[in-house]
């Protein structure tokens, strides 16, 4: 054999072995250091966009002329719509207004750093071309595009991390998929192990393999119904395709994943030993409902973000796009207003860690980045706000909304604990005025003030 072709063969063998070797990474190889490395970008991000999009946006909460209670994306289950009947919505789903670049820009302008979109929700409809099942956006709708690919390109171009939600256990279309409340159509009956092996695992493989070297950033499992350890291990090997992918605590079978997922709620206190992300709707539904008008105010949404960041968590805020492929105008408005606040105050959120203070004597929060503190004041008392327990001297104090210097005085209380009083600004921000305290040394907090922070 000529030396050049032999050398080429050797290189091919080495490449194949290295690929096999890298694919050998498994859950049991994982370590805390690996997990910290995987989570680094996610911990920096603090704020992401959840997108619940699917053919449930076609009925948009109404079936046979009746408004169906519950979540928009649950309409098939809530109204016990037969499988073949519900599948007809696919032929009506043609989101010609969908523009991936616009979606990503709205998220980016809002100060969000990652997007988690439903690749397949409980209804079993894949929002990507799937060789595993024809019940997907490419084969079953007039749209004939791959929104996940268009989003992966737009995210790469705009520096946004793209992640996928996948409902691994509940699947109300394919035989054997689990269904909360039990099956209501014989077409749903079948072996769950067969469903996991022939539908869920191969589809997870598709979304892990087909959208870029670091996509998905997060694989967001959901509702681990009837998931045993053995069943979870039907899906786990797929993760070897993307050892950097972060996973949540909703796979089932006792697998904790990398972070916890309080839903529609903000924990009273953070967790110093476990990453966590609050996911929340802007109104009351994840998937679009035409008549859900119970929108949270921008003030509430920003203060939620601040509260979560002050406890060391992430905020995954949801938008449910319409069947035409547009964000509801109320969502667009809120994302824009959040972005106006984040434009001036984003450094008090991105890359921060939990407050070092157990509690505060004013209506606000505190976030931290190393030896800088961010004092968030929701409402200013006329006499200013008092921050007790900060031992470290202040290097500078600045209002982030207008860059003006903050006036402050330092004293000790009756027990001698240090008290910093910050006077109100000339122009406060009605949502949250942030004072950036650059410390003149390493952060030191009096024990009493920091006791609950442990
Ligand atoms: C699940 C989904 O059913 C829902 O459609 C949406 O995708 C949401 C983000 O996740 O909803 C849940 C999941 C878990 C609980 C409640 C609703 N729970 O643990 O109580």
Quick one: three-class SS letters along the chain? Answer: CCHHHHHHHHHHHHHHHHHHHHHCCCHHHCCHHHHHHHHHHHHHHCEEEEECCCHHHCCCCEECCEECCCCHHHHHHHCCCCHHHHHHHHHHCCCCCCCHHHHHHHHHHCCCCEEEEEEECCCCCECCCCCCCCCECCCCCCCCCCHHHHHHHHHHHHCCEEEEEECCCECCCCCCCECCCCCCCHHHCCCHHHHHHHHHHHHHHHHHHCCCCCCCCEEEECCCCCCCHHHHHHHHHHHHHCCCCEEECCCECCECCCEECCECCCCCCCCCCCEEEEEECCCCCCCCCCCCCCCCCHHHHHHHHHHHHHCCCEEEEEECCCCCCCCCHHHHHHHHHHHHHHHHHHHHCCCCECCCCCCCCCCEEEEEECCEEEEEECCCCCCCEEEECECCCEEEEEECCCCCECCEEEEECCCCCEEEEECCCCCCCCCCEEEEEEECCCCCECHHHHHHHC
CA of 196 relative to ligand 1 center, distance in Å: 20
CA of 103 relative to ligand 1 center, distance in Å: 23
| Residue 73, ligand 1, Cβ within 6 A | yes
**Cβ atoms 237, 202 nearer than 8 A:** no
pLDDT for residue 124: 99
Angle at 419 between CA 417 and CA 423, to 5 degrees: 175
Q: How far is CA 447 from CA 25, 378, 385, 439, in A?
A: 43, 26, 20, 18
CA of 217 relative to ligand 1 center, distance in Å: 20
- How many Cα atoms within 13 Å fall on the side-chain side of residue 370? 6
CA of 310 relative to ligand 1 center, distance in Å: 25
Q: Whose CA is nearest to atom 12 of ligand 1?
A: 223
> Backbone phi, then psi, for 34, in 5-degree steps?
-60, -45
| Residue 263, ligand 1, Cβ within 6 A | yes
| Residue 286, ligand 1, Cβ within 6 A | yes
- Ligand 1 atom at minimal distance to the Cα of residue 118: 7
Tokens standing for residue 312: 């060391």
CA of 433 relative to ligand 1 center, distance in Å: 34
In the chain, the domains with their CATH numbers are 4-348 (3.20.20.80), 364-439 (2.60.40.1180)
Mutation choice for ligand 1 from 54, 164, 261, 286, CB with most ligand atoms inside 8 A: 286
Per-residue model confidence as pLDDT tens for the chain (454 residues): 455 566 555 555 554 444 444 445 556 667 888 899 999 999 999 999 999 999 999 999 999 999 999 999 999 999 999 999 999 999 999 999 999 999 999 999 999 999 999 999 999 999 999 999 999 999 999 999 999 999 999 999 999 999 999 999 999 999 999 999 999 999 999 999 999 999 999 999 999 999 999 999 999 999 999 999 999 999 999 999 999 999 999 999 999 999 999 999 999 999 999 999 999 999 999 999 999 999 999 999 999 999 999 999 999 999 999 999 999 999 999 999 999 999 999 999 999 999 999 999 999 999 999 999 999 999 999 999 999 999 999 999 999 999 999 999 999 878 788 999 999 999 999 999 999 999 999 999 998 777 544 4
Tokens standing for residue 345: 């105050």
pLDDT for residue 19: 42
State CA 238 to chain mean position distance.
Answer: 21
| Residue 71, ligand 1, Cβ within 6 A | yes
- Ligand 1 atom at minimal distance to the Cα of residue 287: 5
**What is the DSSP pairing of strand 218-221 with strand 161-166?**
parallel
Residues present in the chain in total = 454
**What is the DSSP pairing of strand 433-439 with strand 372-377?**
antiparallel
pLDDT for residue 452: 45
| Residue 223, ligand 1, Cβ within 6 A | yes
CA of 222 relative to ligand 1 center, distance in Å: 7
d(CA 83, CA 414): 70
pLDDT for residue 416: 81
Burial status of residue 347 (CB atoms within 10 A of its CB: 0-12, 13-18, 19 or more): middle
Q: Whose CA is nearest to atom 10 of ligand 1?
A: 222
CA of 301 relative to ligand 1 center, distance in Å: 20
Task: State in Å, rounded, how far the first CA of the chain is from the last one.
Answer: 67
**Cβ atoms 417, 448 nearer than 8 A:** yes
CA of 223 relative to ligand 1 center, distance in Å: 6
Angle at 128 between CA 107 and CA 198, to 5 degrees: 130
pLDDT for residue 454: 40
Task: Of 372, 371, 362, give the one whose Cα is nearest residue 432.
Answer: 362
**Cβ atoms 252, 169 nearer than 8 A:** yes
Contacts 24+ apart (CB under 8 A), 20-23: 22/243, 23/240, 23/241
Angle at 111 between CA 292 and CA 398, to 5 degrees: 120
């Amino acid at each position: 054999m000529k030396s050049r072709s032999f050398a080429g063969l050797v290189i091919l063998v080495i490449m194949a072995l290295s690929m096999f070797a890298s694919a050998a990474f498994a859950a049991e190889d994982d370590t805390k250091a690996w997990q910290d490395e995987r989570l680094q970008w996610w911990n920096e991000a603090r704020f992401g966009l959840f997108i619940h999009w699917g053919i449930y946006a076609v009925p948009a909460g109404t079936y046979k002329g009746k408004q169906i209670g519950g979540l928009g994306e649950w309409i098939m289950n809530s109204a016990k719509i037969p499988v073949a009947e519900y599948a007809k919505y696919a032929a009506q789903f043609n989101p010609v207004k969908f523009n991936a670049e616009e979606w990503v820009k709205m998220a980016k302008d809002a100060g969000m750093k990652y997007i988690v979109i439903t690749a397949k929700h409980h209804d079993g409809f894949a929002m990507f071309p799937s060789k595993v099942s024809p019940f997907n956006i490419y084969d079953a709708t007039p749209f004939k595009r791959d929104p996940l690919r268009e989003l992966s390109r737009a995210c790469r171009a705009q520096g946004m991390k793209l992640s996928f939600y996948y409902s691994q256990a509940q699947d109300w279309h394919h035989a054997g998929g689990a269904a909360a409340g039990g099956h209501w159509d014989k077409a749903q009956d079948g072996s769950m192990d067969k469903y996991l092996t022939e539908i869920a695992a191969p589809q997870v493989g598709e979304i892990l393999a087909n959208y870029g070297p670091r996509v998905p950033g997060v694989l967001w499992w959901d509702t681990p119904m009837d998931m045993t350890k053995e069943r979870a291990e039907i899906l786990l090997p797929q993760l070897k395709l993307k050892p950097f992918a972060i996973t949540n605590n909703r796979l089932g079978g006792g697998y904790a994943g990398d972070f916890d997922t309080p839903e529609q709620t903000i924990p009273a206190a953070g967790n110093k030993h476990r990453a966590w992300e609050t996911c929340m709707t802007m109104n009351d539904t994840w998937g679009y409902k035409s008549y859900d008008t119970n929108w949270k105010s921008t003030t509430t949404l920003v203060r939620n973000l601040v509260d979560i960041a002050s406890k060391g968590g992430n905020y995954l805020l949801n938008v449910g796009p319409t069947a035409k492929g547009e964000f509801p105008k109320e969502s667009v408005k809120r994302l824009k207003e959040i972005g106006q606040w984040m434009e001036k105050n984003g450094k008090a959120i991105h890359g921060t860690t939990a407050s070092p203070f157990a509690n505060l004597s004013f209506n606000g929060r505190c976030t931290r980045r190393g030896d800088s503190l961010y004092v968030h004041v929701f409402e200013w008392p006329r006499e200013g706000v008092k921050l007790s327990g900060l031992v470290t001297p202040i290097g500078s104090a600045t209002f982030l909304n207008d860059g003006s210097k903050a006036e402050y005085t330092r004293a000790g209380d009756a027990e001698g604990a240090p008290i910093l009083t910050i006077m109100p600004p000339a122009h406060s921000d009605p949502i949250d005025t942030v004072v950036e305290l650059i410390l003149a040394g390493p952060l030191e907090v009096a024990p009493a003030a920091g006791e609950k922070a442990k």
